[in-house]
Structure 1
Amino acid sequence: MTEQIVFLDDDGLAPSTRLKRPDCKHSWKQYAYTRPEQVIEHLQEATIAMTCSVPLREEHLRQLPKLKMISLALTGRDIVDVDYCDAHGIQVTSVPGYAANTVAEHSLAMILELFRRPAAFTRLMRQVHAGEAAYQNIYFNHRIRDVRDKHLAIIGSGPIALRLAHLARAFGMQVLFEDRGGKRRGPDCRPLNELLGNCDVLSINCPLTPETYNLIDAERLALMKPDAVVVNTGRGGVVNEAALIAALENGRLGGVALDVVEHEPLHPDNPLFTLIDRDDFLLNPHIAWSSEDAMQQLMDSAVDNINAFVARQDATRKIRTA
């Protein structure tokens, strides 16, 4: 059988990514991007869909009777109505854990920038060179702090959180995890409010669920030290952004670094841009996952998932016809 495979959004790939093709007999179509109103048209004949970011909801899926499998080139499965797929025999796969190292490294890079400020001092030197800031012998324009012996509180317990903990400990940081409401046990776990009151760095590395939505709100931000920093490379909705803006503007945080926001892609009108000129604020367009190494692994694994699905189908077919 020839599988009709459609890749919905190859503009999510870096130029360096080498996209291999599945081993099975197949036809292949790919699009730079698929808008919601184009999903049905692009997948009308597809038996297998692959996507980096295009949501596939029930209103799409019920109009795609030939679709048997969705290969997601990302960690989670929240962009697909999985319940509908389970009920109608559509296999949904993702690539959990592929970004464990790259997102952890990005989280640590953001922590180091907020503490050491190398990029902020580079911007200052540009200003000095342009005559916009004073030339002087020694500069104390930005506070510089060591990360060694600082307390890192991590919300999350998956591969990214564990890798970040490993990297942070190598820098001499003291690492503790949020205990997930008592569900996680161990000497390195603490209740959330206790963590917030004692940490120097809060790192968000958990998925967005009804339980984690706005988990870090104004009340919980008020528990934190005034020089503590918040780093979010997990999901934007975990932190209440209006409360975060107010806390930073009012001097109740020492810095904020965001790779994710609640509403993506990041729109130029987002209120977070009111902070963009601050040197204690970092805003990235959800790129922590996208190192060249991680992206290649991601796409290879997404295609491997297709191969595995087709192989299982073939094996089942042979058993039935034996």
Structure 2
Amino acid sequence: MSEQIVFLDDDGLAPSTRLKSPSFKHSWKQFAYTRPEQVLEHLQDATIALTCSVPLREEHLRQLPKLKMISLALTGRDIVDVDYCDAHGIQVSSVPGYAANTVAEHSLAMILELFRRPAAFTRLMRQVHAGEAAYQNIYFNHRIRDVRDKHLAIIGSGPIAMRLAHLARAFGMQVLFEDRGGKRTGPDCRPLAELLKNCDVLSINCPLTPETYNLIDAEQLALMKHDAVVVNTGRGGVVNEAALIAALENGRLGGVALDVVEHEPLHPSNPLFSLIERDDFLLNPHIAWSSEDAMQQLMDSAVDNISEFVARQQVTRRIRSA
């Protein structure tokens, strides 16, 4: 039996990413992107769907009787109606934890930029070269601080948070975690208010849930040191963006770095762009997850999930025919 595999959105891959070819008999079709109105057309004959970001909802799934398996090149499964799939025997797989190292490294890179300012000084040298800034012997245009012995407060307890803690400790930082309202205990856990008052860096590495939406608002930001920095590589919406803008503009924070925002993709009209010329503000378009290494691992695992599913199906068929 030949499986009909359809990859719905390969434009989500970096050019360097190489796709494995499954060893079982199959046909393979892929599209740059699949809009909602194209889902049924593209998956009409598919037995297996592979997707990076295209949602598959019940209104699609109930019209795809041949579909047996959905392989998500993602950590979570929220873009698929999993309850429908469970009820109708459609296997759904994802790739949890693939981005743990790459997002943690990106978080640390943002922390280091806000403390050490190498990119800001490069921009200054461009201005000097262009005659827009004074040529002089030594420059103190940007404050430079060591991260060693600084206190890092992490909101989150998953693989990314744990990897960031490991990397930060290697730099000599003191790491503490938010205690999740008393649900997480240990010598390195503290109540949120205590963390905010004492930390030099606040790193958001948690999912967006009803409990974490606007978890960090104007009231919480007011507790922080005036030179503390906020880094969010978790999810937009955990930090209230209007409050964050006000805090930075009014000198109540030492810096802000965002890889995620509440409304993505990041639109040019977003109020956060009012900060874009500041050297104490970093804004990235949700790319912390997308290193070449992590993306290759992601796609290898997504294809491996397909191969494992087909292998189990083949074993089941052999048992039934014996």
Deviation at 1:124, TM superposition (A): 0.5
> Secondary structure, in 3 states, of the residue corresponding to 1:176?
strand
**How far apart, CA to CA, are the structure 2 residues paired with 1:133 and 1:258?**
28
**How far apart, CA to CA, are the structure 2 residues paired with 1:48 and 1:137?**
64
- The 5 Å alignment of 1:245-264 reads 245-264=245-264
Deviation at 1:285, TM superposition (A): 1.0
- Is 2:195 aligned against 1:195? yes
**How far apart, CA to CA, are the structure 1 residues paired with 2:8 and 2:113?**
36
**How far apart, CA to CA, are the structure 1 residues paired with 2:287 and 2:31?**
21
Deviation at 1:83, TM superposition (A): 2.2
| Higher deviation after alignment, 114-123 or 188-197 | 188-197
Deviation at 1:63, TM superposition (A): 2.4
Deviation at 1:321, TM superposition (A): 2.4
- Is 2:213 aligned against 1:209? no
**How far apart, CA to CA, are the structure 2 residues paired with 1:195 and 1:74?**
31
Deviation at 1:292, TM superposition (A): 1.1
| Higher deviation after alignment, 59-68 or 135-144 | 59-68
Deviations 1:62-83 (A, max 9, x none): 2222222111112111222222
Q: Which runs of 5+ in 2 are unaligned?
A: none
2:10 aligns with: 10
Deviation at 1:288, TM superposition (A): 0.8
Q: CA RMSD in A?
A: 1.2
Change (3 A) 1:63 1:221: farther
Deviation at 1:150, TM superposition (A): 0.5
Q: Structure 2 length as normaliser, TM-score?
A: 0.97
Change (3 A) 1:222 1:88: farther
**How far apart, CA to CA, are the structure 2 residues paired with 1:279 and 1:235?**
23
**How far apart, CA to CA, are the structure 1 residues paired with 2:267 and 2:81?**
25
Deviations 1:29-82 (A, max 9, x none): 101111222222211221111111122222322222222211111211122222
2:149 aligns with: 149
Deviations 1:167-190 (A, max 9, x none): 000000000011111111111111
Deviations 1:229-250 (A, max 9, x none): 1111111121111221111111
Deviations 1:256-311 (A, max 9, x none): 11111112111112111111111111111111111111111111000000011111
| Higher deviation after alignment, 53-62 or 136-145 | 53-62
Q: How many residues align?
A: 322
**How far apart, CA to CA, are the structure 1 residues paired with 2:237 and 2:90?**
28
Change (3 A) 1:60 1:219: farther
> Secondary structure, in 3 states, of the residue corresponding to 1:92?
strand
| Higher deviation after alignment, 293-302 or 74-83 | 74-83
Deviation at 1:24, TM superposition (A): 2.0
Deviation at 1:318, TM superposition (A): 2.0
Deviations 1:3-22 (A, max 9, x none): 11111111111111111122
1:169 aligns with: 169
Change (3 A) 1:218 1:62: farther
Deviation at 1:86, TM superposition (A): 1.9
Deviation at 1:132, TM superposition (A): 1.0
Deviation at 1:91, TM superposition (A): 1.4
| Higher deviation after alignment, 231-240 or 159-168 | 231-240
| Higher deviation after alignment, 139-148 or 84-93 | 84-93
**How far apart, CA to CA, are the structure 1 residues paired with 2:295 and 2:211?**
30
Deviations 1:110-145 (A, max 9, x none): 000000000000001101111111112211111111
**How far apart, CA to CA, are the structure 2 residues paired with 1:23 and 1:214?**
47
Q: Which runs of 5+ in 1 are unaligned?
A: none
- Seq. identity, %: 93
1:301 aligns with: 301
1:51 aligns with: 51
